[in-house]
Amino acid sequence: MNLDQSLRTEIQKALTALFNQTVDHVQLQPTNQEFEGSHTLVCFPLAKISKKGPEETARLIGEYLVTHTGFVSRFNVVKGFLNLVIADRVWMEVFHSIYANKNFGNLPANDQEIMIEYSSPNTNKPLHLGHLRNNFLGYAVAEIYKALGYTVHKVQIINDRGIHICKSMAAWKLFGKGETPHSSGIKGDHLVGKYYVEFDKNLKAQVKDLIQQGVSEADAEKQAPIMQLAIDMLRKWEAKDPETVHLWKTMNGWVYEGFGSTYKRMGVDFDKLYYESETYLLGKNEVLRGLDNGAFFKKDDGSVWVDLTSDGLDQKVLLRSDGTSVYMTQDIGTAILRFRDFPKISRQVYTVGNEQEYHFKVLFLILAKLGYAWAKECYHLSYGMVDLPTGKMKSREGTVVDADDLMQEMVDEAEKQSRELGKIEEATDQQIKELSEMIGLGALKFFLLKVDPKKRMLFDPNESIQLQGHTGPFIQYTHARIRAIIRKAETMGISPDEGYWKNVNSLEPAEREVIFLISNYIHKLNEAARDYSPAVIANFAFDLAKGYNQFYQSIPIFNEADQDKLKFRIAFSSVVADVIKRAMAVLGIQVPERM
RNA sequence: GGUCCGAUAGCUCAACUGGAUAGAGCAUCAGCCUUCUAAGCUGACGGUUCGGGGUUCGAGUCCCUGUCGGAUCACCA
């Protein structure tokens, strides 16, 4: 049963009976801890239709609900707030409906399809902390929609072509001496990244020399021989020069292999990959089509532009004067291709940092100008940058936090702390490894997901490896604790079949509180989906774990003499474990049986 | 300079979209393991919600204004 819905219905009935009117929206909110009750009706707005003061209105509604419905056992009125105490028998019904629903937390398919893009790295350097936030966020949003019954397509666009990869290629050609991941023992993406750094180092030196020779700063970068080589490679690549294409394929291959293992460890996946090299030509054609039908215009030097001044934006280049495409060009092609591939999708979500807000504003306007009605279904899930205590991450200053390194550190730390706490003395090496992986990544994911995505966040390494308090491991620990209880119950032969615990008619406050939390799960999923905010679920899981721990500490389960109550508490505990597991799974976090 | 976003406890974050005396975690201090896992629980301390106006029964939340951060406005991606 849906208590919230039922209450709203009853309240409307009360309004009709008492005042002969209804309202569009009844303001029902959780009751503050300091007052008795679980649901609070805000009665200030109702004073208008009752033609009485808020307190009097609240009292009348409260009395009606107690006498005319089976839900409310008593009530109190504080100012214009009507605090309702739901009967324990009703809470038991709420619990029962959750217990009996094997698919609680997963809604049936709703026949809607959406696409979620995330990750989408460049292929010239390894993934870093910013990508971790992006990936965990995109993955979690996708899982949230799946839980709500949507068919979800997880995709990414791989920026595999362009000047950035040519820079790595140029440096490798000059200094690489045939080095490969195999020969060097370096992970592919890191190896390619090494040459990207090498490129930058050499470019800087060459630019410095040129400036000393009297070349202007702006020209120096273009004239530097190593930059010339990279630009030449980009040109050759577009002309399909076999040698260049071969090198490009080889080095991208190294990167994909490296990314593959990183994604695997992160626990994220994709249903379909798009490659910029395969979409930019479509984008180019679309731009030319837009030029023909007057959506865009050409400047004297041959470059193609879109004028968005009537939309409050600027003019934006779509094709360079030499006819080559820019970032925007391929994004146009990619978007069109995706809607061709998946004509049923009703929304496309781009998980991309907020530094690109302008870009997406422009992109969506361009798609609309090209006549695509679905342009309005495109949404930029814009998230804030991850800052370090030392300030911004800057690849050029070497302050980026590498994704592979960070995950390893978290796992090592988890293992260290497990050992210190003496948790894993009887475990095998394999079990220790798996558990540390689960805890380390759980800590990392929770840390990055608990903050509202829109907000910029601070990544303090010391705080992120905390395993106590508002953390993933705290929740994982609660799950493990409950599982221990379930195991004990099983060895004692206690099985919570319905007949027994349905006789339970009174609840402890902690039990009531936890049932209330659980009953809000679907609501929280909807809220998280609406706001594209896994933080809602992260905080839900934390609150639930916290609530259960309060129950756990105040009530020794196996000391209970009443067998019906004992069985109820086993069932109750197993439901909590299950909901924690599901909520965490939606966040991409696994929970252990023991820890 | 234009546009957009942000500012809440010493620190990191919440606050159900306008509701009650603004809540958690960390840190600090004081308690709780002979009892189901102490990675836990209980309590204490901690606030002019950046400043100033306004809207209304009611504002951290909406409007105006100022201050301070950040992003963006490339023939980069």
Å from A447 (CA) to B24 (C1')?
15
Nearest nt to A358, CA vs C1'?
B72
Secondary structure E strands in A81-199: 81-86, 113-117, 151-158
Q: How confident is the model at residue A119 (pLDDT cuts 50, 70, 90)?
A: very high
**How close are the terminal C-alpha atoms of chain A, in Å?**
35
For residues A79 and A43, give the distance between their C-alpha atoms in angstroms, rounded to a whole number: 9
Å from A136 (CA) to B14 (C1')?
20
The alpha helices in A348-395, defined as continuous H runs, are 357-369
**How does the average pLDDT of chain A come out, rounded?**
93
Tokens 């020209």 belong to residue: A219
List the single protein residue with the shortest CA to C1' distance from B36.
A485
List the single protein residue with the shortest CA to C1' distance from B37.
A481
Å from A302 (CA) to B11 (C1')?
55
Q: How far is CA A322 from CA A319, A325, A326, A492, in A?
A: 8, 9, 11, 78
Nearest nt to A421, CA vs C1'?
B39
Contact partners, residue A339, CB within 8 Å, separation at least 6:
A345, A348, A372, A374
Å from A550 (CA) to B44 (C1')?
19
List the single protein residue with the shortest CA to C1' distance from B22.
A32
Nearest nt to A312, CA vs C1'?
B3
**Statement: residue A116 has pLDDT above 90:** yes
pLDDT of residue A328: 93
Which domains are assigned to chain A? 3-86 (3.30.1360.70), 162-242 (no CATH), 277-352+359-381 (no CATH), 403-586 (1.10.730.10)
Contact partners, residue A403, CB within 8 Å, separation at least 6:
A126, A127, A128, A129, A131, A132, A262, A266
Nearest nt to A414, CA vs C1'?
B39
What is the 3-state composition of chain A as percent helix, strand, coil, each rounded to the nearest 5? 60, 10, 30
Which is more confidently placed, A396 or A73? A73
For residues A10 and A85, give the distance between their C-alpha atoms in angstroms, rounded to a whole number: 14
Å from A278 (CA) to B70 (C1')?
35
**Statement: residue A75 has pLDDT above 90:** yes
- Interface pTM, i.e. ipTM: 0.96
Q: How confident is the model at residue A1 (pLDDT cuts 50, 70, 90)?
A: low
- Rg of chain A over Cα atoms, rounded to whole angstroms, equals 29
pLDDT of residue A396: 64
Positive or negative, the CA dihedral A369, A370, A373, A378 is negative
pLDDT of residue A397: 67
List the single protein residue with the shortest CA to C1' distance from B19.
A42
Å from A91 (CA) to B22 (C1')?
29
pLDDT of residue A368: 93
pLDDT of residue A323: 86
Q: How confident is the model at residue A260 (pLDDT cuts 50, 70, 90)?
A: very high
Q: Tens of pLDDT along A279-304? A: 999 999 999 999 999 999 999 999 99
Q: Tens of pLDDT along A359-371? A: 999 999 999 999 9
Nearest nt to A302, CA vs C1'?
B75
Å from A239 (CA) to B69 (C1')?
46
Three-state secondary-structure class, residue A379: strand
**CA triple A172-A174-A176, angle to 5 deg:** 45
pLDDT of residue A424: 81
For residues A506 and A523, give the distance between their C-alpha atoms in angstroms, rounded to a whole number: 26
Nearest nt to A43, CA vs C1'?
B19
Å from A316 (CA) to B75 (C1')?
10
pLDDT of residue A495: 82
Å from A313 (CA) to B3 (C1')?
9
pLDDT of residue A16: 92
Strands A72-78 and A81-86: antiparallel
Which is more confidently placed, A531 or A395? A531
pLDDT of residue A171: 96
For residue A459, what is the DSSP state? -
C-alpha closest to that of A594 among A441, A483, A487, A488:
A483
Nucleotides of B under 7 A from a protein CB: 4-7, 11-17, 19-21, 23-27, 35-42, 57-58, 70-77
C-alpha closest to that of A378 among A349, A341, A358:
A349
Nearest nt to A555, CA vs C1'?
B36
Å from A50 (CA) to B58 (C1')?
19
Nearest nt to A77, CA vs C1'?
B20
Q: Is A66 exposed, middle or buried (0-12, 13-18, 19+ CB in 10 A)?
A: middle
Distance of CA A53 to the CA centre of its chain: 45
Q: Tens of pLDDT along A148-198? A: 999 999 999 999 998 899 999 999 999 999 999 999 999 999 999 999 999
C-alpha closest to that of A121 among A17, A268, A3:
A268
> Token pair for residue A346?
């009703």
The alpha helices in A31-159, defined as continuous H runs, are 47-50, 54-68, 88-100, 129-147
CB A3 within 8 A of CB A86: yes
